[in-house]
Amino acid sequence: MSEQETPKARPAVRTLSDLARIAGVSAGTVSRALAGNSLVNTATRERIVALARDHGFRPNKMASSLRRQKTDVIGIAIPLGHDSRQQISDTFFITLLGHLADALTERGYDLMLRRVIPERDEDWLDRFIGSGMIDGLLVIGQSDQFDRIEDAADGYLPMVVWGNHAEGQRHCVVGTDNRLGGRLATERLIESGARHIYFLGDTSAVEFAARYAGALDAAGRSGVTVTPLTSHLSSDRLEAEVAANLDRSFERGDAIFAATDTLAIASLARLKALGIAVPDQVRIVGFDDLPLAAQTTPPLTTVRQDIRAGAFAMVDLLIRRISGEDTESIVMPPRLVVRRTA
Amino acid sequence: MSEQETPKARPAVRTLSDLARIAGVSAGTVSRALAGNSLVNTATRERIVALARDHGFRPNKMASSLRRQKTDVIGIAIPLGHDSRQQISDTFFITLLGHLADALTERGYDLMLRRVIPERDEDWLDRFIGSGMIDGLLVIGQSDQFDRIEDAADGYLPMVVWGNHAEGQRHCVVGTDNRLGGRLATERLIESGARHIYFLGDTSAVEFAARYAGALDAAGRSGVTVTPLTSHLSSDRLEAEVAANLDRSFERGDAIFAATDTLAIASLARLKALGIAVPDQVRIVGFDDLPLAAQTTPPLTTVRQDIRAGAFAMVDLLIRRISGEDTESIVMPPRLVVRRTA
DNA sequence: ATGAAAGCGCTAACAT
DNA sequence: ATGTTAGCGCTTTCAT
């Protein structure tokens, strides 16, 4: 079709050269003018800028990226666990994503979001890194991909991961001290009378494994039992899974340490349905301190992570890494928020 | 330092030509081989593919996009209202985003997420569209940008918007029949004894305005009053705002129709804090039916939108539009879910 | 079945 | 202060 689709009766000006022709200058000058390069004569620049506006010209970012070898795009990878629909719907990750979006937008970056299913795509990390589409990569959650992330980090500096920090690890991570958080939560449960604690969460994810380890730390000192109960974060199955676990196990337990608030809230609902009193019969502590946690009935006792601070830290580190600095990881202290469930 | 099977030992092969040189063929052949083009000799192809794997070669997507004039990336724009932090944290949008990510990933597209603040950037839509970075655009929520979206739609086919459908509009939209939903909610409130209903939400967003209109429809027939109470979705202020509104107004009202479940849940919490019984003194109906709605105390009566179906519909329409079809909008029927708050 | 060559639209080094 | 030119890394004719 050679017919104009634009309401304006002019031939669309889509490229720098189009605009250059109209302005009676060279493409180079247009490029410089639009970039605000001080070399161009002010009058020329203003004329070109006006022309660009009038004709609705937008430079093609692909071409620019290719030429500059810089895309101004940050990749965000969300590794999903075995269960292909795990986690992305988890409120915590989503909240983190929102803050990352804030922080990156503020710094002039676009976000390229990619959900990855490591089981189905072994090569997810290198593929994303090598795509040439991104200037840096943020990974939200290590899932069970710790080793693969380590490998990638050896050859790729501009990557920051949200997750757990292990002694001597090579990738740059921002996260909460999960083990300490787990200990705080469990200590609280014990203080409020727990003897048989269920840890609800998937310990194959390293963050959760650390929380579980913290629970064991706390229990070790007091003779309290801590039993892991695998529960995934998939929103469609979460409720059923929690229900099944609790129904089956609760004659024996008197407390739940849920790996996330989402899980804690689901448990709370289930216990209510079962007619089990919280915290009198069963105590619950969550993890994250989502806004929601304050609004449950009774309000949830939980371990707070400062998600917003974490997101901004990730972006800050990433930008420093993009400019070549080999930054250290940041481990943030968790804080126990005592409400009414324990 | 390790120098093993990793590409470190050899000069990295980053480009097609690098690989071509190693394989002893031309760049064109490598390109064809990697694309699975049937023209290339099977043996050659296999050799090249193996070589690519061994050397960890990944084609540069920017270059490919530029050449093919196709990026395999879909833009997702989230217009934020006046209050610059409105909405993105709203669970509804986030849930929608998750499903969109599912649907797009399934179809082989990447997602480029951009939060836009229309007040600060008049040109947000055309800038995104014209960037050359995306093959199509999904807009999550019309906010107060209806006219601008209409304008853009005239010159840009591959765009689908989540939001409200108005008679004769030109942009393709997927959404719930908000007005009907508003009517259903309000009818329910009236049935359960409401006489003075507060509509909680920002009616400058067209989706919410339609819900409010539906409320008026329902009230019109029964002499019940409906008073709008502007409330934004900003997560930090939401609670305070709801509190202020309710504290000030509740000697007069006996029901709340909240424009979203998020708002409804905040109201519920506030009423509880004020010692007002729900639903005996004040009835509440929400909108969305988030997973959470079933878990509040008492469980929330609300109007269900099928978010997942909506997301898949958006992607389906978008892909048809990308291939040139001028698709119709889809308006999905809302469904009243009666629980315990009204 | 493969190679050579011409760009995609932009930027930057090197001219003037 | 501006023009000219040579690519960025890939895909795709057009030849052979």
**pLDDT block averages, 10 residues each, chain B of length 342:** 47 91 95 90 94 95 97 94 52 85 94 91 93 97 91 96 94 97 97 93 89 96 86 57 63 86 87 86 94 86 96 98 96 97 96
- Report the nearest residue to nucleotide D2, CA vs C1': A29
Identify the pLDDT of residue A86.
47
- Whether B62 sits inside 8 A of A71 (CB atoms) is yes
Identify the pLDDT of residue B204.
87
Same domain, B98 and B147: yes
Q: Which nucleotides of C are covered by protein (CB under 7 A)?
A: 1-5, 7-13
B339 part of a folded domain: no
Q: How far is CA A261 from the centre of its chain?
A: 16
Same domain, A281 and A318: no
Same domain, A250 and A316: no
Angle, vertex CA B56, rays to CA B52 and CA B57, nearest 5 = 55
| Strand D contact at CB of residue B35, distance < 7 A | yes
B187 part of a folded domain: yes
Tell whether the model's pLDDT for residue A249 goes beyond 80: no
CATH code, A279? 3.40.50.2300
Same domain, B164 and B277: no
Same domain, A100 and A122: yes
Question: Helical H runs in B169-299?
Answer: 178-191, 206-220, 235-249, 261-274
A105 part of a folded domain: yes
Find the closest chain A residue to B88 by CA distance.
A98
Find the closest chain B residue to A86 by CA distance.
B98
Find the closest chain B residue to A91 by CA distance.
B91
Question: Helical H runs in A74-155?
Answer: 91-106, 124-130, 146-155
| Strand C contact at CB of residue B26, distance < 7 A | yes
Q: What is the DSSP string of A193-262?
A: T-SEEEEES-TTSHHHHHHHHHHHHHHHTTT-EEEEE-----HHHHHHHHHHHHHHHTTT-SEEEESSHH
pLDDT in tens, A180-196: 999 999 999 999 999 99
- Whether A95 sits inside 8 A of B89 (CB atoms) is yes
Of A7, A61, A154, the CB nearest to B131: A61
pLDDT in tens, A166-180: 999 999 999 999 999
Same domain, A183 and A113: no
Identify the pLDDT of residue A237.
54
Q: How far is B16 from chain A (nearest CA, A)?
A: 13
Identify the pLDDT of residue A38.
77
Question: CA A39, C1' C9: Å apart?
Answer: 22
Q: What total of structural domains would you count in chain B? A: 3
Question: CA B26, C1' C5: Å apart?
Answer: 12
Domain hosting A38: range is 1-57
Instruction: Quickly count: other Cβ atoms within 10 Å of residue A326's Cβ.
Output: 8
Identify the pLDDT of residue A84.
44
Q: How far is B139 from chain A (nearest CA, A)?
A: 15
Q: How far is B25 from chain A (nearest CA, A)?
A: 23
Taking contacts as CB-CB distances below 8 angstroms, the residues of chain B near A154 are 2, 6
Taking contacts as CB-CB distances below 8 angstroms, the residues of chain A near B71 are 62
pLDDT in tens, A53-79: 999 999 999 999 999 999 999 999 998
Both structure tokens of A180: 């300490």
B62 part of a folded domain: no
Same domain, B95 and B209: no
Only one residue has tokens 């999905």, namely B332
- Whether A112 sits inside 8 A of B114 (CB atoms) is no
Confidence of residue A242 (pLDDT cuts 50, 70, 90): low
Question: CA A67, C1' D14: Å apart?
Answer: 27
Same domain, A4 and A23: yes
A340 part of a folded domain: no
| Strand C contact at CB of residue A35, distance < 7 A | yes
B68 part of a folded domain: no
Tell whether the model's pLDDT for residue A87 goes beyond 50: no
Cβ within 7 Å of strand D: which of A 34-53? Answer: 39-41, 44-45
Angle, vertex CA B3, rays to CA A134 and CA A139, nearest 5 = 30
| Strand D contact at CB of residue A25, distance < 7 A | yes
Only one residue has tokens 């250059």, namely A20
pLDDT in tens, A114-145: 989 898 888 999 999 999 999 999 999 888 89
A64 part of a folded domain: no
Of A58, A94, A133, the CB nearest to B130: A58
- Whether B95 sits inside 8 A of A89 (CB atoms) is yes
Q: Indicate the residue type of B324.
A: G
Q: How far is B181 from chain A (nearest CA, A)?
A: 24
A87 part of a folded domain: yes
Q: Indicate the residue type of B249.
A: S
Q: Cα separation of B25 and B43, whole Å?
A: 13
Same domain, B240 and B192: yes
Taking contacts as CB-CB distances below 8 angstroms, the residues of chain A near B102 are 85, 88, 115
| Strand D contact at CB of residue A62, distance < 7 A | no
CATH code, B39? 1.10.260.40
Of A85, A114, A268, the CB nearest to B110: A114
Same domain, A195 and A120: no
Q: Cα separation of A76 and A95, whole Å?
A: 14
| Strand C contact at CB of residue B63, distance < 7 A | yes
Average pLDDT over residues A95-113: 93
Of B114, B132, B297, the CB nearest to A60: B132
Taking contacts as CB-CB distances below 8 angstroms, the residues of chain A near B126 are 56, 58
| Strand D contact at CB of residue B66, distance < 7 A | yes
Q: Cα separation of A40 and B56, whole Å?
A: 43
Helix B27-34, helix B16-23: angle, nearest 10:
100
Find the closest chain B residue to A95 by CA distance.
B89
Identify the pLDDT of residue B79.
87
Find the closest chain B residue to A102 by CA distance.
B115
Question: CA A110, C1' D11: Å apart?
Answer: 27
| Strand D contact at CB of residue B28, distance < 7 A | yes
Tell whether the model's pLDDT for residue A9 goes beyond 60: no
The pairing of beta strand A225-229 with beta strand A196-200: parallel
Of A7, A91, A113, the CB nearest to B101: A113
Helix (H, G, I), strand (E, B) or coil at B336: strand
User: Which nucleotide is nearest, taking the CA of residue B37 and each C1'?
Assistant: C1
Q: Cα separation of B205 and B178, whole Å?
A: 12
Same domain, B193 and B167: no
Tell whether the model's pLDDT for residue A246 goes beyond 90: no
Q: How far is A335 from chain B (nearest CA, A)?
A: 20
Average pLDDT taken over every residue of chain A: 88
Question: CA B67, C1' D4: Å apart?
Answer: 24
Tell whether the model's pLDDT for residue A1 goes beyond 50: no
Question: CA B242, C1' C6: Å apart?
Answer: 64
Helix (H) or strand (E) holding A302: strand A301-304
Same domain, A322 and A261: no
- Whether B61 sits inside 8 A of A7 (CB atoms) is no
Nearest CA to A245 among A225, A221, A222, A228? A228
Q: Cα separation of B189 and B223, whole Å?
A: 13
Nearest CA to B199 among B156, B242, B165? B242
Q: Cα separation of A45 and B263, whole Å?
A: 49
Q: What is the DSSP string of A38-50?
A: TTS-HHHHHHHHH
Q: Cα separation of A88 and A80, whole Å?
A: 7
- Whether B89 sits inside 8 A of A110 (CB atoms) is no
Q: Cα separation of A188 and A192, whole Å?
A: 6
Confidence of residue A98 (pLDDT cuts 50, 70, 90): confident
Is B2 exposed, middle or buried (CB count within 10 Å of its CB: 0-12, 13-18, 19+)? exposed
- CA distances (Å), origin A128, targets A55, A75, A139: 36, 8, 11
